Structure 1
Amino acid sequence: MPTPSLLRSFLPRRGLILLATALLAGCAIAPPRTDDPLQKVNRKVYAFNDRLDKAVLRPAAVGYRKITNPPVRRSVNNFFTNIEMPITVANNLLQARPSQALGNTGRFLINLTVGVGGIFDPATRMGLPLQTTDFGITLARWGVPEGDFLMLPLLGPSTVRDVWHYPVDGYFFDPLSLIAKNHGFNFGQYYLPQVLYVVSMRSQLIDAEGFLQTAYDPYAFLRDAYRQRRLYMLYDGNPPADVIEKMQGVDQPGFDPDELLEQQKQWEQQHATSKSAPTKS
């Protein structure tokens, strides 16, 4: 079973995926992808993850929101976001981007000191915005192809290339993992902050999860939102238009956005009908 440190690597990313879903909701619907050869298995893993989330993670996140207020949750998120910044700095150096490494190091140190261990975020107000990267993006910058899309048990969406950031970043660059490896804990205490981070990150998704639930195909929507976000990370938020069109498939012969919009409309009507139908007691 994956350790909580791997789960921590996934949750922030998934949170952004669901937020990206909100942005994508107003865009043209991309046609069904033909480059997902593992889709049959991926969909089964997605269903497993969804059941696990509803049974364990979401209830824990709801409970966490009930016993905390927004300032406390924001402080917890700030702390863990800052303590993971060495992952970004290390990958900035691996990507041969020294200026980004210097800026992110400054952000880390400012929040660690002036920000009282990272619970506050003065670096952003000082003009040092949050910029994250990982070993998957490092491989992409050096020309490693994306590979097939993967839906991983517990960890969620990834690709053959991106999956490598879990062992590399988690083992070599994650401060919490390094502390755990170099200290003996009789009762597994080092899991506690990581579990807290997983729960706190999941709690941030509650307000946005409706976007995924009303998608025409939640699995496909999550898959494409993930791949689009990774593409934006690779190009620092400005991917070329032809790269976006190729990823979305709108450059394929026979692409008919009107047909896809009609399919979306029909699905939404069916979904609304099923929601309003009375349940049998």
Structure 2
Amino acid sequence: MDILVERADGVMTIAFNRPDRKNAITAAMYQTMADALVEAHSDASVRAILIRGSVGIFSAGNDLEDFMKSPGGGENAPVFQFLRAISSAEKPLVASVAGPAVGVGTTLLLHCDLVYAAESATFSLPFTQLGLCPEAASSLLLQRVAGYQGAAEKLLLGEAFDAKEAQRMGFVNRLLPAAEVDAFAMAQALKLAALPASSLRVTKALMKRAAQHEIQTQISEEAVHFGKMLLAPEAREAFKAFFEKRKPDFRQFD
């Protein structure tokens, strides 16, 4: 299974399990994660959710081969089911990032309540480099935690940045040695699971309530632009260059 879903001691763990493809996410993987988050919402035994990668890698983002075969437009596409589920999750979300997090591998972290990363982890938002635009409401959420200029640098240039920078920007809580991050994140999730569920639910709702409508609107608006740009010549050139292992040439486009 490319996504492992486990329940123990009040914690649902959703783990990427496709290390041979750097945990690149397919439509089927999005569907599995969306279904798990929906189940967690209605399962009273689940009191916290932990999202983690595999040894040395969190996620390389979208699997481009799968993405090109089934771009998946429309509100019921697996990717949008996942984004709606993670952005509106009422229960605490904890993330453990033990390696590179690319694209949606980074943007999904903006919807988590607690994020712990390995000191060696790296992050990147290479949407413009692929002829695309941000997704998962990252154009809204990143500037809220990092300020406009901080978010603009990451989203406009699309260059990778290290874990110290991610912590400085404000979306990573703590850095740990790579061998310790998963265990520490699980320990934090277990602490949450031991607390009163209603207190956690209400506290999270109070913090998220004012922004929730804006987040859902931003996800939808980004999706419209993303879908159009996915079919544009710039994205086609970026994807072709990726598969041909060369640098794309955008100078041919106005």
Q: Where on the TM-score scale, by shorter chain, does this alignment land: which range?
A: under 0.3
Bigger proportion of residues as strand: 2
Higher helix share: 1
Which structure is larger by alpha-carbon Rg, 1 or 2?
Answer: 1
Provide TM-score, normalisation by structure 2: 0.27
Higher relative contact order by CA 8 Å / sep ≥ 6: 1 or 2? 1
Task: Give the TM-score normalised by structure 1.
Answer: 0.25
